[in-house]
Structure 1
C-alpha cells in the first residue's frame, strides 16, 4: 500500500497508485540450482545425463548475471533420447488407463511438496506458470487418462511426441501440450526454450520421482528451435507440436518438411489481440484491466485498444489520470528500444497523440507506458507492434465496425470484450475470428476450454476434449510413413508441362467425350482452354478429355467460394442437413450415369460400380444426419461464470482427392467439409477423374449455393501449388506424392494452413489400410474434427 502518512485514501484513489510489491525469496530455487552446480545436461531415461565435450548455453537472470548453463544436444544425444522415449512409450502405453491416471494424480502431491521451488525457479527464469495452474492441469488430464478408453474408444496414442517451445514461450503453454500427450498414453520429448529449460528439467525430475516409467518424459536442450527439427529426423518420433512465436514455428515447419512427421503449431506469442470497449461497458474496470495486461514487463501478446467513439474522450481522460505516476517498463534489449522509438515516431508523424506518465529518456533499455491515441488500423505498429509498453487506441462507431477492427489483425489468438449488454457481447464474440473471447475479463485460462488458433495463430486445438485428438489417431488408420526429405527445388515444383493432346483419329465418331469442370456453380472449360487426356486403367486408349485447370481457375473458384461460404456457415445445421439429403437424392437419381463412369474409369464390373454409388449415397445421408448432432456447449469450469465452446467452419478448404475408390472417397471428404459449414475446392484424382466429373451433374441439380463446391481437374502438382499459395484457403487435405507432402509442409507457413497429408504411391497411399467403404465411427469423427476450429467464450458472473 502507499504510505498512508503522506497520502489520504482519496488521493490514493485519485492517482490509482500501486504500493510496493512484497519482497520475494528465491532461496529454495537457488539451493536446487546450487545442488546441480548451476550446470544442467539433459533428462532422459529417468535421470540427468551430462555428456562431455558439448557446447554450453548461459541463461541470464534479471540483473544480467548467469543464472545457470544448459548443454546443447548433438546427434548422439538425440538418438539416445529418442531411444529412451521409445522404451518409455512401451512401458507407459502398456499401463491401464487407471494406472496412468493414478501416476498423474500422484504428481499433485509432489507439487504440493515442491511447489515453492518451482514457483521461485519460474520467477528467476521469467517464465509464467504457477504451481496452482499446474495442479489444475494435472487434475484435469489425470481424469481424461482414466476415461480415455471409455469416452474415446477406437483411438490409439500416436507414440513418441516431441513438444517444442520458443525462448519466449511460458512454461504453462509448454505443459498444456505435455500433460495431455502423457494422459493419452504417449511418451514425450520436451525441447524447451531457453527460459523454460530449468523449470522443465525440474518437472521431469519430479514426474519421474512420482512414478512415471523411465523414458516417459525426457528433456533435451539446445541453442534454438532447429533442435526440434533434428529430433524429428529420428524414426522413433511420431508427432511434433510447437508453442511459441510464429517465426520459430515457421522455421520448424520448413526444417521438418518431408520427414513424414505431422507438425502442428500454436503461435501463442506475439499475436495482436483486440481489447474492445463499448459505450455500455464499466469503463473504469475495463481501463484497470487493460493497463494491467498491456504494460507488463514480459507479455506473450500485444493488445490494441478499440473504444466506441461516443466514450473515447472519457476513456482518454481516465487513462491520463490512471497512468500518472506509472514507472518505466524495462525492455529486453537496446535493439527493442530502437524499434519502440521508430514506432512512436511513425505514430506521431501520422497524427497520433501520446499519453505517457513521463517523457522517454533519450536512450536506455526502458520506456514509459505509452498510449497511441488516434492510430490508423493499417499502421505497422498496430498490425505488428514492436516489443515494448505501447498500446494503440482505435475508435469505432458501431458494433459492426468493432468487429471489422477486431478482425483486421492477421492473428486470431484472443479478444477481450467489455459491455454490460450480454446480447451484444455474444454477437460480437461469434463474429470475431479468434480462438478465445473473454467478456468483461481477460487472459483467463483453464484446460477445459478448447481453443483453436484462427488465421495465423495456429493449426491445432489445445485444451478440452478436443485438444486430446492431436495426440491420438484412429485405430484403423496407419501413421504417415517415415521418409527422408528429397532434394526439391520448391520454386520449380509443379511447373512440369502436362501431357500434350495429339489427334490420332480422323473419325469424328470415335473422338472421346470432353468433360467440363465445375467453378462458381457453372460447368465450364479451364481458363487456358487446354485439355488433358483421361486414359483407360491400363494406360492404353484415351477414354475422355478433361480441362487442364491451373492457377487462374483456382483463383476464380476461391472468389466464388468466399462469397458464399459465410452465408452457408450461418445457415442452421438442420438447413445444411436438408441440402445434403437433397444431394444424396440427386446422386440416387443420377445413379446410372455415375455408375457407368465408375465402371468405365476403373475397369470394374457394373455391380461393383453400383455398390460404390450406393455406399456414396449412404455416406451423404450419414453426413446429413451428422450436421445437427455434434455441437459445442457449456463447459464445467472451476471459477465463477460460464464458459461456452463453439465449433466453427475453417472457411475455404482445398482438397486433393485420393486415387482409391474415387467416388466414395470424394463424397466422404466433401460431406465432412460442407456439413460443418466450409466451402471446398476439390481436385479429382489425376488418374481417375471421371467419377468426380460425372458428379457435377448431381451438383448442378442440387440446391447447394453456387460456388460452395468447386471441382477443378488438371495436373495434381500444378493445382497443389496454386492452392498452397492462395492466402484465403485455410486448410488443405492432400492425397498424393511424398514430394507434394514435403512441398506443402514447407510452403504453407505464411499464412499458416492446416494440413492433412497422406502420401500415396502408384495409387496406394498411407491410407491403404483404411477401407473407405466401412463407416468407422472414428473415421467420421476424425474427418469432422479436422473440418472445424474451436472458439471458447468466457463470461464471468462475479
Structure 2
C-alpha cells in the first residue's frame, strides 16, 4: 500500500514554551531562571535558518553565583538518603512523561534530536544506582560540585549521560551546554526542579564559546570537570585548565572515524541495509568507513547501487560544506576511487547526494580526515587479520560494527579492535548499562554502567583530592625538563670506597644510559655521594617503549592465571634478594634495617595480592532492555609511563608495577629522583624473573626530563605521575594529542606528602582504585533477533 506524504511534525508546544520565555532564555541558577542585566546574548537559528531564540552569555559574576549555589545544592542533595535521591529521579520519569512532547519538539527545533524514551531509560537506570549506591559501591563518596561541559555538536543524550550519573552519586552539577543543547538543557533543568531536586543541585550556564567551561573550572568550588563533544574543544579545555588542580576527563563523541566491517560470512542484504541507515539516514556524530572483504566486494557494491537508487539528497549546513564535499569527491576520483551515487549532484545549493567512494586507501585524506556530508569511503581487505588492521588504522577508538554469521570470528575480531563499543550484526546500539571507555583519541574516561560511576566518586578513606587547587604557574612549556643534570667532579678518594655505580633496565637488559652519563645520588643528609645511577633521556625512553610495545600484545593475551604465576615468581625473587634490597632502602633513606626490612616484607605481600587479583575481577554479561547479549570486557591500556613517588620507594614501585602488569599492561618506570636506589636494586629481581623482556623497564635520571619524553611519545597510552605542581601542569597541557589518560599526584618535596596515599595500608580500596586506573572498558553487543 502506498501512503501519502507525511505531515510536518508539530512544534506548537515547544514554540509556546519559547514564547513564554519571550524567546530570550536566561541562565538557570539556584532553581530558577535568571537573566542578569547587561549581558551579551547569542542567537540560535532553527533548521530553516530563521531565529529560534537567544541565550545569555555568562560572565565571571554569574560563574561565582552559580558555584555558590552549587555548593549549597551539594550539601542539600548529598545530605539526602540514597532512597530519597532515587525517588526524586524516579519522579522525574513521570514529569518527563507529562512534558515529553515539549522536550521532543524543542530538541528537534534545535537540531539536537533526542527521544524522550531514551531519557526515560537513563533516568530509570540511574535512579536504581542512586538507590543502591551505599549497598553496592561501599566506601566511596561523591566528589562535590561537578562541571559538565559539552561542545556545540554534542547530543542531548551524551549530555545527560554525564549529568544523571553525577546526580545519582550525590554530586551537584553545573552544566555548560553547547549552542544546540542549551535550550533543551534549560528545559530539563526546569523539569528537574519540578520533580523535587534541591535548588542549586543542577545549574545551567550558557555562553558564547568553550572558554566558559574553563572559567567554571577555575572556580575553587569545582571538584571535577568532564567534557563531551569534539576533540578540538576537549584539547582546548585541557590546556585552559592545566595547573588549576582540577581533574578533567574528555569523551570526544563527535567526529571520530569508525569502521563498518563486512566479512564474506555476513548476511550481505542485512549488512547493506545497515550501511545505508547508519551512513546516510541518521544524523552523524561520527564518520563511518566501510571495510569489505574482497570476495564479496562486487555483491556489496551492486546491492549498495540498488538500495541507493532514488535516495534524496542530504542537506548540508552551508555553502562552504558543499565546497568541501565537492573537493573531497574530486580528490578521491583523482586517486582512482569510483563513485556510487544515488543521483547526480544538483548544480548549486547546499544539497548533495549520498555517495560511496569505492577503492579508498587507508592513507587517503578523505579517510584520515573526512569532510562533512554524506560521503562513505569503501576499502577492501583479504584476511581477518587485515580487517583488524584496517579497523585499528584510525587514531580514534570509539566504535565498530562487525557483520558476520560466524560468532567465533565476531568475538575474535571484537577483542582485537581497539575501540570502546563493538556491535555485531547491528550498529549504533546505546544503553546506559554498557560501560564504554574511549580508546586511543576517543577519550580518557569511562561512561555508562557501574564502571562509569567511579569518575564521580572518590574513596572515603581519602580526605583530599590528589591535586590541590591552585593557580596555574607561569611557565614556558618548551623549556620544561631541559635543565642540565648536576655535574660530577672527579675526586681522589680510595677506589675501594668509591660510590657504587648502578644500571637501568631496558628491554630485559641491565644497561647504561644511551648518553653514557650518570648522576650522583646523595646520602640522606646530603653530605656525601653514596652511588651513581644512569642519567636516562629521550632515547632511553624511545628504546624502552619500542621493547614494551613489542611484548605487550602477547602479555595481554596471556591467561590471567599465567600472569598470576609470573607475579608470584616475582614475589619469590624479591624474597630471595630481601637483604640486598633492604640494605638499599636503609642506605638511601637512612631508616634502620628492621624498618627497611618491613617495607620489603610489605612489598612481597603486595605482589602476592596482585597475583591473586589477576583472575578475580573480570567483566561479564549485562542485562539489556532488548533481546540479545551484551558483554563488558576490561582491557589493558597498553604501554603505561609511571613516574614513581618519593615516599616508600620500593613499596610504591611494586604496588604500581603489580597493578600495571596484572592487568596486561607494559610499563616504563622512572624511579624517584631523590631515592632511586631501591628501584634500581629491584632490577636484580626483574632480571631473574620470567617476565617477558621489555614488559617492565626502569629508567633513572632527571624526573622532569623523563616526564617530557613520556608525555611526547605517541605510543604511551597513560601516565601515572607523582611529582611537582609544574610537572602536573605540563602533563595536563601537553597530553592532548594524542590523548593520554592521566593519574596525577602532586607531592611537595621535603614534606613527605604523596597525594593522600598511604602505601603501607593494604586497604581494598587502594587495590581497587589502582585496578580501575589500569584498565579500559569495552562493550560488545550481539543481537539475537
Instruction: Give 1:358 shift.
Output: 1.7
SS across alignment from 2:449: coil
* Aligned residue among 561, 564, 583 for 1:596: 583
CA–CA distance in 1 between the matches of 2:231 and 2:639?
Answer: 22
For residues 5-34 of structure 1, what are the alpha-carbon distances to aligned partners after superposition, in whole Å with 9 as ceiling and x for unaligned? xxxxxxxxxxxxxx8444311111111010
Equivalent in the alignment of 1:358: 343
CA contact (8 A) 2:606 2:654 kept: yes
Where do residues 90-101 of structure 1 align in structure 2 (5 Å cutoff)? 90-101=75-86
Equivalent in the alignment of 1:36: 21
SS across alignment from 1:239: strand
For residues 613-659 of structure 1, what are the alpha-carbon distances to aligned partners after superposition, in whole Å with 9 as ceiling and x for unaligned? 00000000000000000000100111100000100000000000001
CA contact (8 A) 1:655 1:734 kept: yes
Where do residues 14-413 of structure 1 align in structure 2 (5 Å cutoff)? 20-296=5-281, 298-413=283-398
For residues 261-297 of structure 1, what are the alpha-carbon distances to aligned partners after superposition, in whole Å with 9 as ceiling and x for unaligned? 0000000100001001111111111111111111146
* Aligned residue among 694, 705, 722 for 1:718: 705
SS across alignment from 1:394: strand
CA contact (8 A) 1:735 1:765 kept: no
Equivalent in the alignment of 1:499: 486
CA contact (8 A) 2:745 2:755 kept: no
CA contact (8 A) 1:481 1:766 kept: no
CA–CA distance in 2 between the matches of 1:593 and 1:751?
Answer: 41
Matched, 1:421 2:414: no
Matched, 1:708 2:708: no
For residues 559-609 of structure 1, what are the alpha-carbon distances to aligned partners after superposition, in whole Å with 9 as ceiling and x for unaligned? 000010000000000000000000000000100000000011010001100
Q: Which stretch shifts more, 169-178 or 760-769? A: 760-769
RMSD value, Cα: 1.1
CA–CA distance in 1 between the matches of 2:282 and 2:619?
Answer: 36
CA contact (8 A) 1:647 1:789 kept: yes
In 2 relative to 1, CA 626–765 (structure 1 residues): closer, same or farther, beyond 3 Å? same
For residues 515-561 of structure 1, what are the alpha-carbon distances to aligned partners after superposition, in whole Å with 9 as ceiling and x for unaligned? 00000000000000000011012222111000000000000000000
In 2 relative to 1, CA 20–597 (structure 1 residues): closer, same or farther, beyond 3 Å? farther
For residues 708-752 of structure 1, what are the alpha-carbon distances to aligned partners after superposition, in whole Å with 9 as ceiling and x for unaligned? 000000000000000000000000000000000000000000000
Equivalent in the alignment of 1:775: 762
For residues 24-47 of structure 1, what are the alpha-carbon distances to aligned partners after superposition, in whole Å with 9 as ceiling and x for unaligned? 111111110100001011101010
CA–CA distance in 2 between the matches of 1:296 and 1:554?
Answer: 47
Instruction: Give 1:763 shift.
Output: 4.5
For residues 312-336 of structure 1, what are the alpha-carbon distances to aligned partners after superposition, in whole Å with 9 as ceiling and x for unaligned? 0111111111111111111111221
Instruction: Give 1:153 shift.
Output: 0.9
In 2 relative to 1, CA 414–547 (structure 1 residues): closer, same or farther, beyond 3 Å? same
For residues 683-706 of structure 1, what are the alpha-carbon distances to aligned partners after superposition, in whole Å with 9 as ceiling and x for unaligned? 000000000001000000000000
Instruction: Give 1:341 shift.
Output: 1.4
CA–CA distance in 1 between the matches of 2:756 and 2:303?
Answer: 64
CA–CA distance in 1 between the matches of 2:44 and 2:32?
Answer: 22
Matched, 1:607 2:573: no
CA contact (8 A) 1:659 1:763 kept: no
Where do residues 452-601 of structure 1 align in structure 2 (5 Å cutoff)? 452-477=437-462, 478-479=464-465, 480-601=467-588
CA–CA distance in 1 between the matches of 2:709 and 2:522?
Answer: 25
Equivalent in the alignment of 1:14: none
SS across alignment from 2:682: helix
Structure 1 unaligned runs (5+)? Answer: 4-18
CA contact (8 A) 1:640 1:797 kept: yes
Instruction: Give 1:502 shift.
Output: 1.0
* Aligned residue among 645, 650, 655 for 1:668: 655
CA–CA distance in 1 between the matches of 2:301 and 2:227?
Answer: 39
For residues 133-177 of structure 1, what are the alpha-carbon distances to aligned partners after superposition, in whole Å with 9 as ceiling and x for unaligned? 111111111111111111111111111000000000000000000
SS across alignment from 1:189: strand
CA–CA distance in 2 between the matches of 1:317 and 1:764?
Answer: 71
Q: TM-score, normalised by structure 2?
A: 0.99
CA–CA distance in 2 between the matches of 1:338 and 1:673?
Answer: 48
Matched, 1:795 2:785: no
Instruction: Give 1:361 shift.
Output: 2.6
For residues 202-244 of structure 1, what are the alpha-carbon distances to aligned partners after superposition, in whole Å with 9 as ceiling and x for unaligned? 0000001111110000000001111111111100000000000
SS across alignment from 1:303: strand
In 2 relative to 1, CA 768–302 (structure 1 residues): closer, same or farther, beyond 3 Å? closer
Matched, 1:621 2:630: no
Instruction: Give 1:783 shift.
Output: 0.3
Q: TM-score, normalised by structure 1?
A: 0.97
Structure 2 unaligned runs (5+)? Answer: none
CA–CA distance in 1 between the matches of 2:335 and 2:27?
Answer: 51
